[in-house]
Amino acid sequence: MKLWGGRFTKETNALMEEYTASIGFDHKLASYDIEGSIAHVTMLGECGILTDHEADEIVEGLNKVQQKILAGEVTWNVSHEDIHMNIESLLKEEIGPLSGKLHTGRSRNDQVALDMRMYARDQVADLVDGLVHVQQALINQAIQNTKVVFPGYTHLQRAQPILFSHHMLAYVAMLQRDIERLQDSWKRINQLPLGAGALAGTTFPIDRDRVAELLGFEGLCENSLDAVSDRDFVVEFLSNGSLIITHLSRLCEELVLWSSQEFQFIELDDAFTTGSSMMPQKKNPDVAELVRGKTGRVYGNLIGMLTTLKALPLAYNKDMQEDKEGMFDTAETLSGALALFAPMIETMEVKEGVMRQAVTEDFSNATDLADYLVGKGVPFREAHAIVGETVLYCIEKGFYLLDLSLQEFRKFSEAVDDDVYHLLAPEQVVEARNVQGGTAYAQVMQQLFDAEKKIQAS
Ligand code: ARG
C-alpha cells in the first residue's frame, strides 16, 4: 500500500513506478532526511502538536532506522518512490502506526528542499577544504621554486620571462575567488524551507525558528511558495562548481603541455600518471586529462538545471526531482578532482634547468630592450620598431638578442650602450617588473605572503 494510496483504486504501473522513483539516487540524502525529521518531530513535541512521549518514540525509531542504514541492513524499495517515503516506511517497521504522525505539518516538498540544502552545506564545506589543500600544494611549489624563471606566454607564444612561483600564485588567486564565492553562497543556502508545507504553509502551530535553530540554519525561507520551488542554491552551487573546474582544467591543460616532450618543464610523479598498453615509453598525464575532460559534465549539470527550471510554474513540480543527480555528480566530480589534485601538484618535479634554458633561447627580453631605449629618450613607438628590426636581424642570423655585439645593436640604434647586456638577462628582465602584482621576486614574495594569510582565514 502506497503512503498516498487512499484516493487510488488501481495499482500503479510498474514501469511508471520505476521511471518516477528517485530512490536510486536520493538515498544519498538519508542522513539529512533523518536529521531533519528528528528536528521536526522534536519541535512538534515541544509545541504540543505531538505528546512528548510520541515525539520521543518517533525520535528513537528514527535513530534506529539511521543505525540500520549505516550498518547496511536496509534495502531501498522502488515502490516507496523516494528517500522520504522509504524512511517513513522503515520507521513504520520500527514503531508501527505512530510513524504516521511524523509527517504532521510537513510535505515532501519542503522536506526535499531541506535535505538538498543540508547536502549543499556539507558539500560547500568539503569543497572549500579541498580547494585550500590544492592552494597549499601550489604554494608549496611556489616556495620550493621561488626564484625559478620560466617563459610567460600570451597566445601560447613566448612573451616575457616570469617566475614560476608567480605562475603558481595565479592559480592560488583563482581558487581563492572560488572559495570566497562558495562561502558567500552559504548565507543563501542556509535558510530553512521546512514549514512551507506543500506550498502554502501549514495549519499546525509549528515553530519554524526552533527547527532552524536545531538544524543550524541562520534564517527562514520567507515565502512558502518560494521555499519549495527555489533551486537557486543548486544552480549557484553548479555554477560555482563550473568555475572551479574551469580553473582546474586550465591548469590541467598546462600540466599536459608542460609534461610533454616538447616542453619538458615538469615531470608528474609516477603515482599520478599511467602507462600505455602498447607503447612502453609512455607516461601519460591521465589525471590532468580526465579532470579537463570532466569539465564537460560539470557544465552540463549547470545548463541542465537551468533548463529544467526555466519554465516551471510555481510551486513544486516533479521536474524538480531532476536537481539531484547533477548536484551529486558535480559535488562528487569536484571532490574527486580536488583530492587528487593536491598530491599531484605537491609531487610534481619542476625542471628548473629546462625552464631557465628556455628563456635564454627566445626573444622574451625584447620588451626590455624597447623600454631601455625609451629610458634613453627614444619614443616608445620608435623603440618598438627598432627592436622589431633587431629581432628580425637576429632571426635571419640565428641569434638571440644577447648574442649581438654592441656594434650590431648600434646598427639599429645609436642609443644602445654596454649596460644593455645586464638588462637583457632573464633574471634582470624579471626583476625589472617590480610593480605591485608583478613578477619581480619581492612582489611575488608579497603575493605569497598575502595568499597564505587569506588561506589561513578560509
Ligand atoms: N522525490 C521528490 C523530489 O526529489 C520529493 C518531493 C516529491 N513531492 C511530491 N509532491 N511528489 O523532488
pLDDT computed for residue 158 by the predictor: 94
> How would you write the chain as a 3-class SS string?
CCCCHHHCCCCCCHHHHHHHCCHHHHHHHHHHHHHHHHHHHHHHHHCCCCCHHHHHHHHHHHHHHHHHHHCCCCCCCHHHCCHHHHHHHHHHHHHHHHHHHCCCCCCHHHHHHHHHHHHHHHHHHHHHHHHHHHHHHHHHHHHHCCCCEEEEEECCEEEEEEEHHHHHHHHHHHHHHHHHHHHHHHHHHCEECCCCCCCCCCCCCCCHHHHHHHHCCCEECCCHHHHHHCCHHHHHHHHHHHHHHHHHHHHHHHHHHHCCCCCCCEECCHHHCECCCCCCCCCECHHHHHHHHHHHHHHHHHHHHHHHHCCCCCCCCHHHHHHHHHHHHHHHHHHHHHHHHHHHHHHCEECHHHHHHHHHCCCCCHHHHHHHHHHCCCCHHHHHHHHHHHHHHHHHHCCCHHHCCHHHHHHHCCCCCCCHHHHHCHHHHHHCCCCCCCCCHHHHHHHHHHHHHHHHHC
Average pLDDT over residues 132-141: 98
pLDDT computed for residue 382 by the predictor: 96
CATH number at residue 20: 1.10.275.10
Say whether the ipTM exceeds 0.90. Answer: yes
How much distance in Å is there from the Cα of 192 to the middle of ligand 1? 17
pLDDT computed for residue 177 by the predictor: 98
Domain boundary among 334, 351, 368: 351
Domain span holding position 408: 358-457
Average pLDDT over residues 84-99: 98
pLDDT computed for residue 277 by the predictor: 84
Average pLDDT over residues 253-273: 96
Residue nearest to atom 2 of ligand 1 (CA): 321
Confidence of residue 4 (pLDDT cuts 50, 70, 90): confident
Assess whether 19 and 74 both reside in one domain.
yes
Residue nearest to atom 3 of ligand 1 (CA): 321
Assess whether 233 and 374 both reside in one domain.
no
| Ligand 1 neighbour 112 (Cβ under 6 A) | yes
Domain boundary among 307, 327, 351: 351
Determine the longest span between alpha carbons in the chain, in angstroms: 101
Alpha carbons 346 and 348: distance in angstroms, whole number:
6
Assess whether 125 and 95 both reside in one domain.
no
Assess whether 204 and 317 both reside in one domain.
yes
Average pLDDT over residues 35-45: 98
Closest CA to 30 of 117, 123, 115, 124: 115
pLDDT computed for residue 281 by the predictor: 85
How much distance in Å is there from the Cα of 52 to the middle of ligand 1? 29
Assess whether 219 and 301 both reside in one domain.
yes
Assess whether 141 and 97 both reside in one domain.
no
Choose the weakest-confidence range: 14-23, 184-193, 273-282, 400-409: 273-282
Tell me if residue 155 is catalytic: yes
Cell matching residue 159? 612573451
Assess whether 95 and 175 both reside in one domain.
no
pLDDT tens readout for residues 200-239: 999 999 999 999 999 999 999 999 999 999 999 999 999 9
Is 6 inside any structural domain? no
pLDDT tens readout for residues 296-339: 999 999 999 999 999 999 999 999 999 999 999 999 999 999 99
Ligand 1 atom with the shortest distance to the CA of 82: 1
CATH number at residue 224: 1.20.200.10
Is 5 inside any structural domain? no
Assess whether 119 and 199 both reside in one domain.
yes
How much distance in Å is there from the Cα of 284 to the middle of ligand 1? 44
Domain boundary among 45, 77, 104: 104
Assess whether 50 and 178 both reside in one domain.
no
pLDDT above 80 (res 1): no
Assess whether 346 and 380 both reside in one domain.
no
Ligand 1 atom with the shortest distance to the CA of 81: 1
Assess whether 100 and 116 both reside in one domain.
no
Number of independent structural domains in the chain = 3
Average pLDDT over residues 164-186: 98
pLDDT computed for residue 12 by the predictor: 86
Catalytic residue among 27, 37, 276, 335: 276
CB contact at 8 A, 271 and 307: no
Choice from 115, 118, 318, 323 to test ligand 1 binding pocket (greatest atom count within 8 A of CB): 318
| Cα Rg, the chain, nearest whole Å | 30
pLDDT computed for residue 349 by the predictor: 97
